[in-house]
Amino acid sequence: MTFRSAPRSVAWFLAVAGMACTPPVASPPRTTPVAAEPSPATISLPAVPRVLGRLVVRVVYPPDGATIAVRDSTFIFGSVGSGDASLRINGQDVPVLPNGSFLGWLPVPPRDNPAFNLVVARNADTARVSHRIRLPAPRPALPPTGALVVDSASLQPRGTLWRRRDESVRVSVRAPRNAVVRVTSPAGAFPLGPSTNDSTLHLADVPARYLADQAVLVVSRHTDSIVLALPRVTLVDPERRVMALSGVAPSTLPDTDRVTSVRPIAGGTYKWFLLPGTQVPVTGRQDGAWRIALDGNLDGWVDAADMRLLDSTVMAPVRVAGNARVVAGNGWSDVVIPVGAAPPWAVEIGERSLELTLYGTVANTDIINYATRDSLVERITWEQVTSDRARYVITLRHAPYGYLARYERGAFALRIRSAPRVDPRRPLAGITIAVDAGHPPGGSTGPTGLYEAVATLPIAERLRSILEARGATVVMTRTGPSALGLPDRPSIARQANAHAFISIHLNALPDGVNPFRAHGTGTYYFTGQSVPLARQVQRGMVRTMGLRDLGINYDNLAVVRPTWMPSILCEGAFVMIPEQEAALRTPEFQDAYATGVADGIEAYFRSLATGS
């Protein structure tokens, strides 16, 4: 299972993609419009071994007392101690595999008895377990007559908010459809209206100035009224912006591997990046997230823990990009652009180009100097997209392989990596591969207790042996059970100057997704240069393991986010599926997983040599 530092009918595929390597959680699947391919019919999993023992009921998932937020059906899995027992859960038969494991897809228990009641039988022996869960509290009824009732738990917004005076804040609450709802404050009154989708949801986009001082929400009907306090919104003065500095959170990484990620919405996916020491104006706040201005036309959100507010006397930096130059190195070329201060930035990858955007920057690039012996950069063009946003298009002589952004000695430097020279007869000779055995911390656990971090290590070790036998140098991020942080894993790969990063994981599903339909093999990537590698490895795994083909997926996962090399995360099998968990314990299936990945890696590097 994978961490986010955040998922086939379409519904089950979606669950798989968004769930990559996270423990099962009670959250809805995300949408990913891709269909699964059928699995090859010629490969079968190793037989599940027969285990006979005393009856011991162990429910692995959901944990005792877990909150299950789905309304219809969900899964439960674990083991009963013996493969010759029968199992009924809430009156329904659930098959027991020969090793005593089980996986059931059952209706969510009723609210008046929120439990899975397991009855295990073998001849005259019987074991009973009542496994309690929690269900979310029901939303209160909002009758149009009688005493006035308001769903106070639905009130929004909550928490700490900073906004500009001219901005709007969405205020909403569930109340009877015939109620009158309004915000009142010293600034005046502002009415809320019913939503078009739910007549009991009253909402309005209220100017922030109404919420800056002693604002309340008044719900009334006839002579009844209910008053709810609203959080105070702090008004941000656009003429006196507070500046913040990035890269202040404690880290074990060198600055080369550290970035502060910027999101389009608070708590959302990552899109832009700040190098350590970047100064940006703060334009808003929402609890633990700050809104920052990347330039005059674009805001983004950062975690407050990654930033430090500066003294109110600190002014916004003036960034003017000067004359650029290309510096050729051994296996790389630097595009160096003098800029007065580190800018927010983003890179988009094209077929034979990199598009570098510098935010909060004015370009004044009159001269671009090219290195005579550089064989990578063909030409550079630039444009001023807006009054404070500059874009540089770097056209290359071949497809981009990797890049690394830095700011040093008063210049923004984009180091562009050349593809390695590959011998098509021995495509892995001279190639360095970083192999990452996923987890700990975190990870999933199968029905008989196989922990993901325990299962991924022998697969990774087998992959190392296969790759080394084919001529590669292999760097392992971990070789033992100790925990290793997510950012440290790709940093190890970069410091080794690896040509590819491969993370080995096992998958699981969120609550409410049918595991008998939603399982198989998938591969995940984040950067554009990783797509060809992801496709080849996915083909290799499907061919050797024979599970359903879930395709490749773009996903913002922490370990595949770095840009210096193609990086992928493999979800070869589902540890929560009893047959697949049993297979993962066998050297035969571990070898199939590792061989499929190795075959894909080799095919990818061969394609670099042949241009296919």
Query: At residue 32, does pLDDT exceed 50?
Result: no
SS3 101: strand
Give 372-389 pLDDT, tens digit per residue: 998 899 999 999 999 999
Label residue 13 by pLDDT band (50, 70, 90): very low
What pLDDT shows up at residue 29? 34
| Pairing verdict, β 377-386 and 224-229 | unpaired
pLDDT at site 35? 42
Q: What is the mean pLDDT of residues 469-495?
A: 96
190 has pLDDT over 70: yes
| pLDDT one-digit tens code per residue, 74-93 | 999 999 999 999 999 999 99
Express each pLDDT in 546-597 by its tens digit: 999 999 999 999 999 999 999 999 999 999 999 999 999 999 999 999 999 9
pLDDT for the residue numbered 196: 86
Please tell me the predicted confidence (pLDDT) of residue 249.
65
What pTM value is reported for the model? Answer: 0.89
What is the per-residue pLDDT for 604? Answer: 98
For residue 11, pLDDT over 60 is answered with no
| pLDDT given at position 252 | 61
Contact call for residues 270 and 262 (beta carbons, < 8 A): yes
Task: Walk me through the domains of the chain, giving residue ranges and CATH numbers.
Answer: 58-132 (2.60.40.10), 151-235 (2.60.40), 242-309 (2.30.30.40), 320-417 (2.60.40.3500), 432-610 (3.40.630.40)
Q: What is the pLDDT of residues 275-327, one digit of tens each?
A: 999 999 999 999 999 999 999 999 999 999 999 999 988 999 999 999 999 99
**Which residue has better confidence, 530 or 251?**
530
pLDDT of 587? 98
Q: How many CA atoms lie within 13 A of 243 on its CB side?
A: 13
Average of pLDDT values for 468-477? 99
| Number of other residues whose CB lies within 10 A of the CB of residue 134 | 13
Q: With a cut of 90, say whether residue 407 has pLDDT above it.
A: yes
What is the average pLDDT score of the chain? 91
pLDDT band at 40 (very low <50, low <70, confident <90, very high): very low
pLDDT band per the 50, 70, 90 thresholds, residue 248: confident
Q: What is the largest CA-CA distance in the chain?
A: 89
Predicted confidence at residue 250, as pLDDT, reads: 64
Q: Model confidence over 107-161: pLDDT tens digits?
A: 999 999 999 999 999 999 999 999 999 999 999 999 999 999 999 999 999 999 9
- pLDDT > 90 in the chain, percent: 86
Q: Where are the alpha helices (DSSP H) in 429-575?
A: 452-469, 488-495, 531-545
DSSP-derived pairing of the beta strands 125-132 and 115-122: antiparallel
Q: Which amino acid is at 177?
A: R
Beta strands at 345-349 and 353-359: parallel, antiparallel or unpaired: antiparallel
Residue 39 has pLDDT above 90, yes or no: no
User: Is residue 367's pLDDT more than 50?
Assistant: yes
Rounded to whole angstroms, the Cα distance separating 49 from 384 reads: 66
The phi, psi pair for 506, rounded to 5°, reads -130, 150
User: Strands 151-156, 86-89: parallel, antiparallel or unpaired by DSSP?
Assistant: unpaired
For 148-165, what is each residue's pLDDT tens digit? 999 999 999 999 999 998
What percent of the chain clears pLDDT 70, i.e. is strictly above it? 92
Q: How confident is the model at residue 257 (pLDDT cuts 50, 70, 90)?
A: confident
* In the predicted structure, residue 56 carries a pLDDT above the cut 50: yes
What number of other Cβ atoms are within 10 A of residue 4's Cβ? 16
* Residue 25: per-residue pLDDT: 36
User: CA–CA separation, 447 vs 578, rounded Å?
Assistant: 6
User: Is the per-residue pLDDT at 2 higher than 70?
Assistant: no
The mean pLDDT value for 42-70 works out to 94
Determine the pLDDT at residue 105.
Answer: 98
Model confidence at 42: pLDDT above 90: no
